[in-house]
Amino acid sequence: MKDRPLRCWAEIDGSALRHNLSVVRSRIPQETKLVAVVKANAYGHGLVPVARELVKGGADVLGVSNVEEAAELRAAGLGTTPILLLSACLPGEFPMAIECRAWPTISTYEEAKRLNAAAQKSGQRAIAHFKIDTGMGRLGLWGAEAVKELKRAERLPAVDIEAVCTHFSSADEDPERTEAQWAELMRWRPHFAEKALHVANSATLWRKTVYACSFVRVGLALYGLPPMPFLRRLLRPVMSWKTRVTLLRHLCAGRTVSYGATYLLRKAQRLATLAVGYGDGYFRALSNRAQVLVRGNRCRIRGRVTMDQTVVDVTSTTGCKVGDEVVLLGAQGDQVIHAEELARIAGTIGYEIVTAVGSRVPRIYREFHSLPQGGGAPVKSKTRRTGSRQSRSSSSEEGLRESSRNIRSPHP
């Protein structure tokens, strides 16, 4: 049963990833360190393969949300690249942060004290980055209070606070607010003048504040999603998401399609059933509204997206056959569907579209240059597949799976 076709899969394009990395690099000063943000399974693209490729391409630091993700990177053989934790650690997570040599982002003396205790217990020193709130309202304290906590934290014997950072709430939509946040940070800057600084996410790369910083933290742009619409032409989407036609039928006028019978055929149509649904992360909010690409044509979704299946209208698509490849996200012929398009329809942002692609969807890695786990021999094929279907593959490919959550055991 090895050669059975894929039903629904995501192709991850290493050359697009490298292209975007070089676009980001070209925006920042040479000495600025690039924190490549790979949290949430690299925005759905696959944590380990993407992290490896970005490190090979010159990313200086990997940014993840939490210690679980940091441990996964370390276990996959990414042993030396620094890791920055972007979310706050739970009290019980500091020992693991130290074990993984990850840098927690801390906001308070309380957290610094816990980190210090864990560091002393392990006989190691810990590095932390200290966050100040300037308007994001998620981590960090404001102004004088933050500075007071920072000064206390700096006296702890086993913790080195190597950078101070903040996060913009509206970098992609409100330059004035972003300026005000920067001004607030600069107001307190004299209290930590000697410390490294970082503020920028993808949207801020195109602002001059990046030049005052030692690090930038970039996710979205690396995956080829534009933080602002004008950047669309500069970046190449890394993920293409595909499925297949599982069934074709002619339905006559008066028939209805899918749950709730929300679509009524006014005239006869040829309908294709696809192997994708919200169980794969294809949002139900796309029901009756989004389009897919079949044989280079845009075809409309008819009726509600269900958990595993979705119906589209292929009446004007000649030659459509069962088994045809269907593009949900990406290019086919001269048509392309970007994450922004689905995001607009679903009332969300491109981040959520790609991050939501489910664990049932295997990721297929194309044009990746990085080596498998442990720096072993390069894999011969240009295409690597991860996910459950790969579980019988050779041990050299073991390390190519992006997430243990995404695979079944080779020997159940």
Residues serving a catalytic function are 39, 259
55 touches 81 (CB < 8 A): yes
230 near 206, Cβ under 8 Å?
no
355 binding ligand PLP? (CB under 6 A): no
Tell me how many residues contact ligand PLP (CB under 6 A).
12
Burial of 194 (C-beta count, 10 Å sphere; 0-12/13-18/19+): exposed
Q: Cite the beta strand spans of 275-324 per DSSP E.
A: 291-294, 297-300, 310-313
330-333 — which CB contacts under 8 Å span 24+ positions? 330/11, 330/237, 330/239, 330/240, 330/241, 330/242, 330/293, 331/240, 331/293, 332/293, 332/294, 332/295, 332/296, 333/293, 333/295, 333/296, 333/297
User: Could you say whether residue 45 binds ligand PLP (CB under 6 A)?
Assistant: no
Q: Looking at 153-295, which runs of residues are DSSP E strands?
A: 159-165, 196-198, 215-218, 239-251, 256-257, 263-264, 269-274, 291-294
Question: Judging by DSSP bridges, how do beta strands 141-142 and 126-133 pair with one another?
Answer: parallel
C-alpha span between 73 and 67 (Å, rounded): 10
Q: 15: helix, coil or strand?
A: helix
- Least distance CB 65 / ligand PLP (angstroms): 7
CB 206 within 8 A of CB 27: yes
Among 218, 235, 272, 275, binds ligand PLP (CB under 6 A): 218
Which of 45, 217, 242, 384 binds ligand PLP (CB under 6 A)? It is 217
**Helices and strands of the chain, counted as H and E runs:** 10, 22
Annotated binding residue at 136?
no
Tokens found for residue 246: 């599982």
List beta partners, residue 197. Answer: 164
Q: Is 231 in the site for ligand PLP (CB under 6 A)?
A: no
Distance of CA 138 to the CA centre of its chain: 20
Stretch that binds ligand PLP, among 73-81, 211-219, 275-283, 368-376 (CB under 6 A): 211-219
- Give the nearest distance from C-beta 107 to ligand PLP in angstroms: 12
Task: From residue 97, give the alpha-carbon distance in Å to each of 60, 129, 305.
Answer: 18, 13, 41
Query: Candidates 188-196, 212-220, 242-250, 330-338 — which segment interacts with ligand PLP by CB under 6 A?
Result: 212-220
Tokens coding 74: 């370390």
Residue 7 assigned ligand-binding role: no
- Judge contact between 164 and 192, C-beta under 8 A: yes
Determine the residue with CB nearest ligand PLP.
219
Binding test (CB under 6 A) with ligand PLP, winner from 146, 220, 239, 271: 220
Q: Give the separation between CA 192 and CA 61, rounded to whole angstroms.
A: 22
Is residue 209 close enough to count as binding ligand PLP by CB under 6 A? no
Q: Mask of contacts with ligand PLP, 20-39, x by CB under 6 A?
A: -----------------x-x
The binder of ligand PLP chosen from 201, 240, 258, 332 (CB under 6 A): 201
Tell me the closest approach of the beta carbon of residue 139 to ligand PLP, in angstroms. 8
Stretch 139-168 residues interacting with ligand PLP (CB under 6 A): 167
Residues 233 and 19 sit within 8 Å (Cβ to Cβ): no
Question: Would you count residue 219 as binding ligand PLP (CB under 6 A)?
Answer: yes
Q: Are strands 363-366 and 8-13 parallel, antiparallel or unpaired?
A: parallel
Q: Binding site for substrate, residues?
A: 138, 307
Binding residues (CB under 6 A) for ligand PLP: these are 37, 39, 86, 167, 201-203, 217-220, 227
